[in-house]
Amino acid sequence: MARIAPNLTGVPETMLWTLHNRACEARRPDGILLDPKGVEIYDTLDYDYVGSFGAAEPSHAIRADFFDNELRAFLKDHPEGVIVNLGEGLETQRFRVEDDEALWLCVDLPDAIAIRERFIKPDERHRHLAMSALDRGWFDAVPADRAVYITAQGLLMYFAPEDVGRLICDMAARFPKARLCFDHIPEWLSKKTLKGWRKGRNYVTPEMPWGINQCDIEPILREWAAVERAETFPYKFERGWQGLVFNGLMRVGWIRNRSPGMTCVRFA
C-alpha cells in the first residue's frame, strides 16, 4: 500500500501517539499485544512518530490489553451486546477481540473517521459515527434492547470536567446497567499539559483539562450519576526491572493515587 500522510492536528493527532506505542509493543517478540492490523496501519502512515512522541513505551498497549480483557468478559455474558467506542481513532480492538454477534459503534470526529476509513471499513456490525462523543446524537444509534458497553480510551482527559460530568450523567440515565470503561490522568499531569507538555522534539500535546486523582474518582462519579459499582485499576508493567519498580511503586497509596489509571463502572 502507498504511504498515507495522516494530516491530523489537535486532539485527533493524538491517535498516532497511542498507535505508535501499541504497534511498537506488538512488534516486539516479547510484546504483550498481538495486533497485526495496528502494525499494518502504523507502517503505512507517513509520519515521524519518534519526532512527535519520542521512543515508544508500553503504557498504551497495557491499557489496550486491559480494555480488551474487560470487553471479552462483557461479550462472554452478552455476545449480542453493543459496544460503543468513544474516540476510537485508529484503535484496532475489533480485530483483537473476536466475536460474531455484537454491534460495534465507533464515535469519533469527522477527520478521525476519515483517516480510520482509509484502513478500516465500516459494515453492518461495525458502524462509524462521525460526530463528537459530546453530541448525544450517538445515543439514538444504540438499540434499546441490548446490553451496552461504552469504552473511552484516551478521550475524557481532553474534555472540560463539566463536560465529562454531564456526559456520564446522561449516559447513565439513558443506558441503565450499562458498563463504562475509561482511563484518566492525575491532576498534576493535567496541569502540566495546560502549561504545554513537550512530548517529542516536534510536538506539544493538546491540553488535557480533566485531571483527577484516583481517590476522587468514585465520589465524583457518584455525584454525577447513578452508579452501581466503580473500580479503578493501576497500569501494570509486566517486563523487566522497570516493571518491578513501577509495580512496586503502585503499591504505595500516595503514588498510585497520583498516577494514571483505568476505571470500570456499572451504571445503576
Ligand X SMILES: C[S@@+](CC[C@H](N)C(=O)[O-])C[C@H]1O[C@@H](n2cnc3c(N)ncnc32)[C@H](O)[C@@H]1O
Smaller CB separation from ligand X, 82 or 133: 133
Contact indicator for 115, 42 with CB cutoff of 8 Å: no
| DSSP designation for 30 | T
Footprint of ligand X on this chain (CB under 6 A)? 11-12, 14-15, 18, 86-89, 91, 107-109, 112, 132-134, 153-155, 158
Which of 218, 221, 220 has its CA nearest to residue 231?
218
Smaller CB separation from ligand X, 25 or 108: 108
Burial class (CB in 10 A: 0-12, 13-18, 19+), 32: middle
Q: How far is the CB of 143 from ligand X (least distance, A)?
A: 21
Q: Cα-flanking dihedrals φ and ψ of residue 177, to 5°?
A: 75, 0
Q: In what order do the strands lie in the sheet with 103-108?
A: 126-130, 103-108, 82-86, 148-152, 179-184, 261-267, 227-234
Q: How far is the CB of 204 from ligand X (least distance, A)?
A: 15
| Phi-psi category of residue 83: left, alpha or beta, with phi > 0 → left and psi -120 to 50 → alpha | beta
Smaller CB separation from ligand X, 132 or 213: 132
Q: How far is the CB of 127 from ligand X (least distance, A)?
A: 15
Smaller CB separation from ligand X, 75 or 91: 91
Q: How far is the CB of 254 from ligand X (least distance, A)?
A: 27
Burial class (CB in 10 A: 0-12, 13-18, 19+), 150: buried
- In the block, which residue shows the cell 491517535? 15
Reported as type and span, the H/E element at residue 261 is strand 261-267
Smaller CB separation from ligand X, 78 or 136: 136
Q: How far is the CB of 218 from ligand X (least distance, A)?
A: 23
Q: How far is the CB of 3 from ligand X (least distance, A)?
A: 20
Smaller CB separation from ligand X, 152 or 225: 152
Instruction: Please report, to the nearest 10 degrees, the dihedral formed by the alpha carbons of residues 8, 120, 62, 111 taken in order.
Output: 20
Q: How far is the CB of 118 from ligand X (least distance, A)?
A: 14
- The C-alpha atoms of residue 52 and residue 206 are separated, in whole angstroms, by 12
Smaller CB separation from ligand X, 112 or 120: 112
